[in-house]
């Protein structure tokens, strides 16, 4: 009996692996000399999951009235669950007001259907510790839910994490007005400490599944310095009750072997973003993000269905995205950096994309958003004591060439786009620093304007069909080894 069960289980596993392998897109169409071995895509995501032993927060006196702060009671349930061999922490239906929670080894925090965790709007309910924020390491408040230095943990359910972040959005916009007047646009994002939704840091085998995350004060989900994590079926909506600045959906930050699937993201910055540190501090840490699979996801408002950068210092490589949809997103694929970031973005694969009302199909820029990307101390602060994180941001990259980013080996195929503003905006820096080995194939797009391709080497467009409202054609300038096969309808 036992032998029969094991044989059946083995057969199921083999069948599943074969199905996954078949689903992985082929990029042989590129016709380049590179070997496209994507077998690593079968080895991403969480490998373990907590057991089902139940610990209900009601037994630890958590109150579900949405008014009584019950951080301590929920944390007590989490701690008891972990210390007793792990299991699942559950809730009775209702609303629970909470500050920062810390998930421990072996714990699945199950936010079930009918349950809402309501984040406290008091910044004092989020203890500070050293973390990485927008590419630099600094002291920052905890997220609402934190998985720090743990293995085999999960956050699941069909319930809601309402981060009530508008108080932090309003704080940011007020600060930004004053900071821009003083020439401090470059540091306001770091001075305005805002609460993230979920942080997974220095952890492995962590699953995030099914929950609804809304109104995050800062990024919704950040996976930092971690490995073997799965994000499956979550819904992020940061466009409720205002315009949340820098409210990214999912950020994979200097992490490896990550699986993102079946997610729906509506936010006000990058939807699904791949990062690896910025400037001198990111180069110091020097940890890449690599081996990431993203599939069967939908994005709505936001800056990029898939974005690589602008934090590229530790390098980004081996990213596979397929079966994706974008509605009103700024770009289907966006790759961005700056001339003090450094790092290499390479082996980026994206296939089978449907895009409606996007800003562009592809946007690639080595020198993105200079007003944000470069730090200059105004004269009135020179010689005065400044915060530690200001000093980090002002640290120059030496030699300057170490800060030059490189984009190469990018593959984008089988895209259908309608009502797009632009087909493409792809720009290297100059004749010595170009975008290298970009391959676009089988793309059909209805756009307002065609766009530009500048300073590239080995840029290939094959089987591209464009219907352009303003009748323009793609502007080509300073490109070498360029291959174009564009049909203008």
Of residues 78, 137, 65, the one with CA closest to residue 109? 78
Domain extent at residue 277: 54-488
- Per the domain annotation, does 318 fall within a domain? yes
Is 477 exposed, middle or buried (CB count within 10 Å of its CB: 0-12, 13-18, 19+)? exposed
Residue given tokens 């895209």 in the structure block: 415
Is residue 418 within 8 Å of 355, Cβ to Cβ?
yes
Non-local (6+) Cβ contacts of 120 within 8 A are 69, 71, 97, 98, 99, 126, 164
Residue burial 12-33, b: 16+ Cβ < 10 Å; e: rest: eeeeeeeeeeeebbebebbeee
Helices (H), 313-456: 370-373, 388-394
- Per the domain annotation, does 208 fall within a domain? yes
- Per the domain annotation, does 143 fall within a domain? yes
Of residues 195, 196, 197, 192, the one with CA closest to residue 179? 192
Is residue 182 within 8 Å of 130, Cβ to Cβ?
no
pLDDT of residue 40: 97
- Per the domain annotation, does 351 fall within a domain? yes
The size of the chain, in residues, is 489
Give the gyration radius of the chain's Cα atoms. 23
- Per the domain annotation, does 259 fall within a domain? yes
pLDDT of residue 3: 42
Per-residue model confidence as pLDDT tens for the chain (489 residues): 344 433 343 343 334 444 555 589 999 999 888 889 999 999 999 999 999 899 999 999 999 999 999 999 999 999 999 999 999 999 999 999 999 999 999 999 999 999 999 999 999 999 999 999 999 999 999 999 999 999 999 999 999 999 999 999 999 999 999 999 999 999 999 999 999 999 999 999 999 999 999 999 999 999 999 999 999 999 999 999 888 899 999 999 999 999 999 999 999 999 999 999 999 999 999 999 999 999 999 999 999 999 999 999 999 999 999 999 999 999 999 999 999 999 999 999 999 999 999 999 999 999 999 888 999 999 999 999 999 999 999 999 999 999 999 999 999 999 999 999 999 999 999 999 999 999 999 999 999 999 999 999 999 999 999 999 999 999 999 999 999 999 999
- Per the domain annotation, does 408 fall within a domain? yes
**343 φψ region: left (φ > 0), alpha (ψ -120 to 50), beta (else):** left
- Per the domain annotation, does 95 fall within a domain? yes
pLDDT of residue 138: 98
**Residue 332 CA neighbour count, 13 Å, CB half:** 37
- Per the domain annotation, does 10 fall within a domain? no
Number of separate domains in the chain: 1
pLDDT of residue 33: 83
What CATH number is attached to the domain comprising 444?
2.160.20.10
pLDDT of residue 15: 42
Non-local (6+) Cβ contacts of 94 within 8 A are 64, 65, 66, 114, 115, 116
- Give the Cα separation of 445 and 361 in Å (integer): 8
pTM: predicted TM-score of the whole model, two decimal places: 0.95
């Amino acid at each position: 009996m036992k032998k029969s069960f094991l044989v059946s289980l083995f057969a199921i596993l083999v069948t599943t692996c074969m199905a996954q392998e078949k689903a992985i897109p082929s990029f042989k169409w590129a016709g380049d000399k590179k070997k496209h071995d994507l077998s690593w895509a079968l080895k991403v995501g969480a490998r373990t999951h907590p057991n089902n032993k139940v610990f209900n927060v009601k037994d630890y006196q958590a109150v579900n009235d949405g008014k009584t702060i019950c951080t301590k009671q929920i944390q007590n349930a989490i701690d008891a669950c972990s210390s007793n061999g792990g299991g699942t922490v559950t809730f009775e239906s209702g609303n629970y007001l909470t500050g920062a929670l810390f998930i421990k080894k072996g714990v699945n925090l199950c936010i079930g259907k009918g349950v809402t965790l309501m984040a406290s709007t008091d910044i004092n309910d989020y203890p500070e510790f050293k973390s990485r924020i927008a590419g630099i390491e600094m002291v920052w408040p905890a997220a609402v839910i934190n998985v720090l230095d743990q293995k085999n943990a999960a956050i699941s359910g069909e319930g809601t994490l309402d981060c009530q972040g508008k108080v932090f959005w309003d704080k940011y916009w007020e600060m930004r007005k004053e900071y821009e007047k003083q020439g401090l646009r470059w540091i306001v994002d770091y001075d305005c400490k805002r609460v993230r939704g979920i942080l997974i840091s220095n952890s492995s085998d962590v699953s995030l599944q099914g929950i609804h995350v809304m109104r995050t004060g800062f990024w919704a989900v950040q996976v930092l310095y971690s490995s073997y994590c799965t994000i499956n079926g979550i819904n992020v909506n940061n466009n409720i009750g205002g315009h949340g600045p820098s409210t990214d959906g999912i950020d994979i930050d200097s992490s490896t072997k990550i699986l993102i699937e079946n997610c729906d993201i509506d936010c006000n910055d990058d939807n699904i973003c791949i990062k690896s540190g910025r400037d001198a501090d990111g180069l110091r840490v020097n940890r890449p993000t690599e081996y990431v699979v993203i599939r069967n996801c939908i994005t709505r408002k936001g800056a990029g269905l898939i974005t690589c950068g602008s934090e590229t210092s530790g390098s980004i490589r081996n990213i596979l995205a397929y079966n994706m949809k974008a509605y009103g997103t700024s770009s289907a694929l966006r790759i961005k950096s700056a001339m003090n970031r450094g790092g290499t973005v390479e082996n980026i694969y994206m296939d089978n994309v449907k895009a409606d009302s996007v800003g562009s199909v592809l946007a690639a820029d080595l020198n993105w958003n200079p007003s944000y990307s470069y730090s200059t101390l105004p004269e009135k602060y020179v010689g005065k004591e400044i915060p530690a994180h200001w000093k980090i941001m002002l640290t120059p990259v030496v030699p300057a060439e170490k800060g030059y980013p490189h984009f190469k080996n990018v593959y984008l195929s089988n895209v259908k786009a309608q009502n797009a503003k632009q087909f493409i905006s792809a720009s290297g820096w100059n004749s010595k620093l170009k975008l290298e080995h970009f391959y676009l194939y089988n793309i059909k797009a209805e756009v307002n304007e065609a766009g530009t391709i500048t300073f590239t080497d080995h840029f290939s467009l094959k089987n591209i069909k464009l219907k352009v409202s303003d009748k323009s054609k793609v502007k080509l300038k300073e490109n070498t080894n360029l291959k174009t096969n564009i049909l203008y309808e």
